[in-house]
A = this chain, B = another copy of it.
Amino acid sequence: MSYLKPTLAVDIAIITVNDGNLKCLLVKRDDAADVGGAWALPGGFVHEDVSLESTAKRVALEKVGLADIYLEQLCAYGSLNRDPRKRVVSITHLALLPFDRIGKAVIANPELTLADIKIDWTGELGGPASAVSNEHGLLDLAFDHAHILGDVVKRLRGKLDYSAVGLELLPALFTLRDAQEIHEAILGHGLTKPAFRRKLLDRELIKPTGTKEVASAFRPAELYEKVN
């Protein structure tokens, strides 16, 4: 016997941090579709002969031109009416990359936008997120993607201090202040400098390079790099 199957998709929340704000790359949905005009996470369908991870890599490359980015699985979303057109189960992934790898091609593409993620943090647990872009203001998010973005932030905050996810958002060379700003952007509150430095250095995931940043003003900080 055979049943009708759901369609399987992979969506990717491509996250970066710039200027103290957590940002997510979103694509504008075609006007012809039911969700036309709304913004969504980049996604694609999973074919029978392609693994979930390969599908995620294909989506990142085809839709936004990114290769070799950090990817991890976030969660599967399978509510019946999350997509108004047909039943789609989405295996959503989380991708992290430093802001300097967001190429000019992405910025110039009118179908893409890099939106600030805003969380309604009343209630302590966090619910859905909203997205605000410089070009388009408050965005209309398609499907359950506002809810997914809320889960993304929860995951990041949860993993931040027992894993190395924070480092994925840093460029090859960075100062400890850069690292601290990224952690603060994810957590949504300030951290004390000495404690942050101690914790990060004690974990031995980064090492000093001996070179210093080229300072536009005042004392330049030492540049660090990731180990391995």
Number of residues in A with C-beta < 8 Å to the partner?
A: 24
B contact residues around A73 at 8 Å (CB):
75-76
- Whether the Cβ atoms of A3 and B76 lie closer than 8 Å is no
How far apart sit A46 and B5, CA to CA, in the bound complex (Å)?
A: 7
Interface string of A113-129 (1 = CB under 8 A from B): 00000000000000000
- A211 interface residue (CB < 8 Å to B): no
- Whether the Cβ atoms of A5 and B48 lie closer than 8 Å is yes
- A60 interface residue (CB < 8 Å to B): no
Task: Give residues of chain A (136-153) contacting chain B, Cβ–Cβ below 8 Å.
Answer: none
How far apart sit A78 and B47, CA to CA, in the bound complex (Å)?
A: 11
- A97 interface residue (CB < 8 Å to B): no
- A87 interface residue (CB < 8 Å to B): yes
Please pick, from B46, B50, B51, B78, the residue contacting A52 in the complex, using a CB distance under 8 A.
B78
- Whether the Cβ atoms of B3 and A6 lie closer than 8 Å is no
Q: How many copies does the complex hold?
A: 2
Task: Give residues of chain A (46-87) contacting chain B, Cβ–Cβ below 8 Å.
Answer: 46-53, 73, 75-76, 78-80, 87
Could you tell me the dominant secondary structure of chain A's interface residues? loop
- Whether the Cβ atoms of A5 and B8 lie closer than 8 Å is yes
- Whether the Cβ atoms of B87 and A49 lie closer than 8 Å is yes
Which one of A6, A7, A51, A52 has the greatest number of beta carbons of chain B within 10 Å?
A6
- Whether the Cβ atoms of B76 and A76 lie closer than 8 Å is yes
- A217 interface residue (CB < 8 Å to B): no
- A89 interface residue (CB < 8 Å to B): yes
19 example contacts (A-B, Cβ-Cβ < 8 A) are as follows A3-B45, A4-B47, A4-B48, A4-B49, A5-B7, A5-B45, A5-B48, A6-B47, A8-B89, A48-B87, A49-B80, A49-B87, A51-B79, A51-B80, A52-B78, A52-B89, A73-B75, A76-B76, A78-B91
Extra 20 A-B pairs, beta carbons < 8 Å, given A4-B47, A5-B8:
A3-B45, A3-B47, A4-B48, A4-B49, A5-B5, A5-B7, A5-B48, A6-B47, A6-B48, A8-B8, A46-B78, A46-B89, A48-B87, A49-B87, A51-B79, A51-B80, A52-B89, A53-B78, A73-B76, A89-B91
